[in-house]
Amino acid sequence: MVETQVLIVGAGPVGLTLALDLGQRGVRCVLIERNEASIQLPKMERCNARTMEIYRRLGIAEKIRDAGLPRGAPMDVFLATSMADPALAHLPCSSVAEAKNEIAAHNDGRPLEPYQLISQYTLEPLLRSFVEGLPNVTVLFGCELESFIQESDSVIAHVRTSKGADATIRTAYLIGCDGGSSTVRKQLGIQLVGEGNIRKLRQALFHCPDLYERIPMGKGRHYHIAEGPVFPFIILQDSTRHWTLHATASSDAEMAEIFRRSLGMPVEFDMLSVNEWTQHLLCAERYGEGRVFIAGDAAHLVIPTGGLGMNTGVGDAVDLSWKLAATLAGWGGPQLLASYEKERRPIGLRNVKASRAAMSGRLSWRAAHHPDIRKDTPEGAAIRAEMARRFDVEQRKVTEILGIEAGYRYVGSPIAWHEPGEGPDPDNPEYVPTTWPGARLPHVWLDRSVTPDNAATTYNPATTHNRTALHDHLGTGYSLLRLGGTRVDTAILEKALSATGAPLEVLDIRDEAAREIYGFDLVLVRPDLHIVWRGSQVPHDAQAIAAVATGQIAATDSAANRKASG
């Protein structure tokens, strides 16, 4: 029997990210995937800002950018009556190079990394190559989970290889990253709640090498064709020579015809594949049971409008990963793994809601369509103007949601200190930096030196414009940030945290920008860069903070809890 610490089922982007994070934390894992090879069909194509920050911490962001859409390529979104016609509406979106320059030019707490367009069929094999380089992770393709049994101290999983051999794997924890039809979720008897089977679409992949250079309205990533009721939607893939088309069509062959019509000019192409996919807005009623958890599409299914599918799953993976590692290392208390569902399910529900809003925005501008839209008449012009006006407002619900992508906060988490009051709106589509406990630590550029108590653990420092990103100085354990030259003695808190056995670094950050953005002299950050506690004095009950941070006890709104806030 194979024995491991964590068995991950499914080598989609979420299972691969989880394996990478766990593997880098030194956890022994087995990753099984029922298919013989990584995905061949196109699905997602945009890693959002938060996912790219996560990949930066894993040391792979620039490798992903090297494999993805060239850094200088515009990410604009267009509405037009065909690819050959002038744009009716145009939403300019920065290229990665432009966005990086903007990030470098500002120190206002905005996310450290911009998005990256990379096709799922490029991303998955790349992530797989990183995971396969980790000595403590075993990757088995052509190996399907059939069933599992939970025991008091382990899970016994029965798997079958594509050659028909049966095997058993004993694992301390089992994580189902096995997609929308998750075997793990079904075996746990967990239902999906929300709206299923909303509509079926066809997606076709085209090789059309000349198109990118020939689009009169300009280069971009998304082209919406104003042709109802089909509404062809053409998406640039990372090579710039491949394109996908999403549309309602009655047959696969019709997809080639719709693509030809949408081009509106003679351009050669080959249709490489067609597949059907179904839109859902669903979230699992629970995220696990006992030693078994679910993550990614196994736990939530969104309409990809807004790109909150894989990106939400990557957030699940890094929330779960350090909690598993801490529990296996012995210092993680019982609240750590219990907090996974309490933190991530509300984000799953919130992102389903944001995806619904993005989709209804799209439906709203589509409703302005009229068959006379192409006519060279005042009526035709009025239809085009109205659709463009609505597009300019409604399509932003898809492209301008940085707050949803990077501003999520674990409201009411048992492992984040509860402060009195409501805190900033956790559903704000606009990103507003905050250090309210449960939020992700905002990015800050540092001009002046950082003094970690153990310089050897400094994390992947990268300089930009002679400055370093604070995120890059934070290690894989907890970080206590001492800001603005504070002279407060934090020894009691440090001692309380160290007594739990949890890894802790203390960083003195004299930089004024950090103190200004963070608003407090002291900030305690956990391994996934979410904030546990903040204050400006040494807390009276440092042990309670340490116990909440490491999941020994659950945070409450008790008076003692509030008293400890500095």
Ligand X SMILES: Cc1cc2nc3c(=O)[nH]c(=O)nc-3n(C[C@H](O)[C@H](O)[C@H](O)COP(=O)(O)OP(=O)(O)OC[C@H]3O[C@@H](n4cnc5c(N)ncnc54)[C@H](O)[C@@H]3O)c2cc1C
Binding test (CB under 6 A) with ligand X, winner from 4, 12, 331, 373: 12
Residues 275-304 that bind ligand X (CB under 6 A): 277, 296-297, 304
| Nearer to ligand X (CB atom), residue 313 or residue 551 | 313
| Nearer to ligand X (CB atom), residue 310 or residue 337 | 310
35 is an interface residue for ligand X by CB under 6 A: yes
Site string for ligand X, 362-381 (x = CB under 6 A): --------------------
- Residue 127 CA, chain-centre distance (Å), reads 14
β-strand partners of 458: none
Cβ atoms 99, 9 nearer than 8 A: no
Residues 319-338 that bind ligand X (CB under 6 A): none
Largest CA-CA distance found in the chain, in angstroms, rounded: 77
Side-chain-side CA neighbours of 104 within 13 Å: the count stands at 12
| Nearer to ligand X (CB atom), residue 45 or residue 528 | 45
Which residues have a Cβ under 8 Å from the Cβ of 378 and sit 6 or more positions away? none
Neighbours of 479 (CB within 10 A): 25
Question: Helix (H, G, I), strand (E, B), or coil: what is residue 156?
Answer: strand
139 is an interface residue for ligand X by CB under 6 A: no
Give the interface segment with ligand X, choosing from 19-27, 28-36, 100-108, 526-534 (CB under 6 A): 28-36
Cβ atoms 220, 87 nearer than 8 A: no
List Cα–Cα distances, 286 to 79, 150, 276, 339, 532, in angstroms: 40, 17, 28, 12, 24
11 is an interface residue for ligand X by CB under 6 A: yes
- Residue 421 CA, chain-centre distance (Å), reads 28
| Dihedral angle of Cα 500, 55, 519, 399, to the nearest 10 degrees | -140
334-366 vs 310-329: helix crossing angle, rounded to 10: 180
Measured CA to CA, the distance from residue 335 to residue 339 in angstroms comes to 6
Residues in binding contact with ligand X, number by CB under 6 A = 33
505 is an interface residue for ligand X by CB under 6 A: no
Give the interface segment with ligand X, choosing from 4-12, 100-108, 399-407, 488-496 (CB under 6 A): 4-12
| Nearer to ligand X (CB atom), residue 19 or residue 415 | 19
Binding test (CB under 6 A) with ligand X, winner from 4, 22, 24, 43: 43
| Nearer to ligand X (CB atom), residue 9 or residue 359 | 9
Closest approach of ligand X to the CB of residue 395, in Å: 15
Binding test (CB under 6 A) with ligand X, winner from 62, 132, 144, 252: 144
List Cα–Cα distances, 198 to 19, 179, 300, 468, 547, in angstroms: 32, 18, 15, 46, 45
β-strand partners of 301: 282
313 is an interface residue for ligand X by CB under 6 A: yes
Strands 288-289 and 46-47: unpaired
Give the interface segment with ligand X, choosing from 73-81, 305-313, 468-476, 517-525 (CB under 6 A): 305-313
Binding test (CB under 6 A) with ligand X, winner from 21, 45, 227, 341: 45
| Nearer to ligand X (CB atom), residue 145 or residue 416 | 145
∠342-348-349 over CA atoms, to 5°? 95
Give the interface segment with ligand X, choosing from 80-88, 175-183, 261-269, 493-501 (CB under 6 A): 175-183
Measured CA to CA, the distance from residue 454 to residue 200 in angstroms comes to 55
Binding test (CB under 6 A) with ligand X, winner from 309, 333, 348, 527: 309
| Nearer to ligand X (CB atom), residue 50 or residue 526 | 50
Residue numbers of the site for ligand X (CB under 6 A)? 9-15, 32-35, 43-46, 120, 144-145, 177-179, 183, 203, 277, 296-297, 304, 307-311, 313
